[in-house]
Amino acid sequence: MANFQYDLLVIGAGPAGESAAISAKKNNLRVAVVDGQASLGGNCAHKGTIPSKALRNAVKQAIRMSNQPFAKRMMLHQELNYPQILAAVNDIIPKQVELHSEYFIRNKIPIFNGFAHFVNKNEVEIAGPHGLKDRVTAENILVATGSRPYRPSNIDFNHPRVFDSDTILQMNTTPSTIVIFGAGVIGCEYASIFAGLGLKVDLINSRDRLLSFLDDEISDALSYHLRSSGVMVRHSEIFENAEYSDKGVTVHLRSGKHISADALLWSNGRSGNTDALNLEAVGLAADSRGQLKVDQSYRTETPNIYAAGDVIGWPSLASASFDQGRSVVDAILGREVRFVEDAPTGIYTIPEISSVGKTESELTAAKVPYEVGRAFFKDTARGQISGEDEGMLKLLFHNQTREILGIHCFGAEASEIIHIGQAIMQQAEGANTIDYFVNSTFNYPTMAEAYRIAALNGINRLMRMR
């Protein structure tokens, strides 16, 4: 039998790689991690989830402050600029790096700093800093190399006014106008951030509605709120080309529109980080988006090589990546594997959005008889007190069994509120109904009250139908 240095070598120290490494260690596997970045945390901590949420939080706080009656009375209005709010990012990243480094140190997991590529299915070469090279062997290898913004060749990303979701974190000016091409989750989140800062934003969508995987009512609410905060949303547009000058960028659309702005943020798609892995050496090939195909155990077509996180595509969330990483170790240990399919959606626009389960369109298409219960945040005491009263909680439930089928939330703290309902949805048959919210006493005043109001609203509607 071959004598490998490790039972598992993890390539990439983002959420998927980190959780796999820690789980492997806890299960007494010999594990090591290799990452190309000098500090830990993955793209999640350096370029994705964490910096974008820190930016959003800084803008949200500024909006909240400027809406306070005392601030208005005392004319405490301060114009925020982008470099100022970027300071919030520069504060959080070192804290995140320290936190993640501690996880590795505490668990005594060796880290190799450098970019890895396959030599064969059990051996990886690591190109470290200063030209140093290392070779490591392992019985199993996990590819958790994440993704990066997709950069089409007809956009000049070297131009100082052109950004993607990585380089926007280095923009050192505050444009007055910005055009965002790509209205996926990242585009919508940045549209909220820039509109909150007072920029004029053009958000260009290649589809006919925003985030079409959401429940229609929630997608409509997002469109309404983005528009009312000054974002010009343009649907069904196709990019033709762009012109650049010292002052900004003009985007030409196939529809004949020409949209000029001080800056362009391109947020249209992502590519898996697989091109430098020398996949041919292990009999693998990535698809056109650089992603790897896996089975329900996160195993690639080469059985000792696994893949998890953004590199396998949907849902491409840090939340799911953490769970996938742990599942890989279960697969290696021959345990039952949880294939992560039920991740809730958390979208940090202003206000935020979260959902879990089916949408109305999906239930209608599947001919599932359902009813709807709604609660508006303005009708909750907590919403009124906090002043964050724009929002809605919507429960979809089976009109006979009352089983909860979908939960859709729009408004402050939506991504937290969703978890109350998610926990009930996952109970055994009979316990996963909207009756839980009517028969349980919630703290008051809380946003959880919205569940009781929505459940009663749904039950009343059911009774009217009889």
Ligand X SMILES: Cc1cc2nc3c(=O)[nH]c(=O)nc-3n(C[C@H](O)[C@H](O)[C@H](O)COP(=O)(O)OP(=O)(O)OC[C@H]3O[C@@H](n4cnc5c(N)ncnc54)[C@H](O)[C@@H]3O)c2cc1C
Residues 119-158 that bind ligand X (CB under 6 A): 144-147
Applying CB under 6 A, does 186 fall inside the site for ligand X? Answer: yes
If binding is defined by CB under 6 A, does position 395 make contact with ligand X?
Answer: no
Provide the angle, in degrees to the nearest 10, between the axes of the packed helices 15-26 and 82-106.
20
Residue 359 CB, shortest distance to ligand X, in Å, is 20
Q: Phi/psi at 374 (nearest 5 deg)?
A: -125, 150
* 271 binds ligand X per the rule CB under 6 A: no
* CA neighbor of 85 nearest in space, from 193, 203, 202, 200: 193
Q: Least distance (Å) from ligand X to the CB of residue 47?
A: 6
In the region spanning residues 46 to 65, those forming contacts with ligand X, defined by CB under 6 A, are: 48-49, 52-53
The residue from 6, 306, 348, 376 that contacts ligand X (CB under 6 A) is 348
The span from the CA of 325 to the CA of 318, in Å, is 11
Q: Measured from the CB of residue 229, what is the shortest distance to ligand X in angstroms?
A: 19
Residue count at the site for ligand X (CB under 6 A)? 39
8 A C-beta contact, residue 39 and residue 111: no
What lies within 8 Å, CB to CB, of 122 at 6+ separation is 2, 4, 137, 138, 139, 141, 304
Residue number, 42 or 458, with CB nearest to ligand X: 42
Using an 8 Å Cβ cutoff, are 442 and 451 in contact?
Answer: yes
Stretch touching ligand X by CB under 6 A, among 28-36, 82-90, 229-237, 440-448: 28-36
Rule CB under 6 A: is residue 290 a binding residue for ligand X? Answer: no
- Omega of the bond leading into 351 within 30 degrees of 0 (cis): yes
Selected binder of ligand X within 6, 9, 12, 203 (CB under 6 A): 12
Closest distance of CB 310 from ligand X, Å: 4
Six-digit token string for 184: 């996926």
- Answer for which of 34, 141, 180, 356 binds ligand X (CB under 6 A) is 34
In DSSP notation, 264-299 reads EEE---EEES-TTS-GGGGT----TTSPPP--TTSB
Site membership for ligand X, residue 319 (CB under 6 A)? yes
Task: Say whether residue 263 binds ligand X (CB under 6 A).
Answer: no
CB atoms within 10 A of CB 303: 11
Residue with smaller CB distance to ligand X, 260 or 297: 297
Question: What is d(CA 414, CA 58) in angstroms, rounded to the nearest whole number?
Answer: 18
The CB-of-306 to ligand X minimum distance in angstroms stands at 12
Residues that bind ligand X (CB under 6 A): 11-17, 34-37, 42-44, 48-49, 52-53, 115-116, 144-147, 165, 186, 273, 276-277, 309-311, 316-319, 321, 346, 348
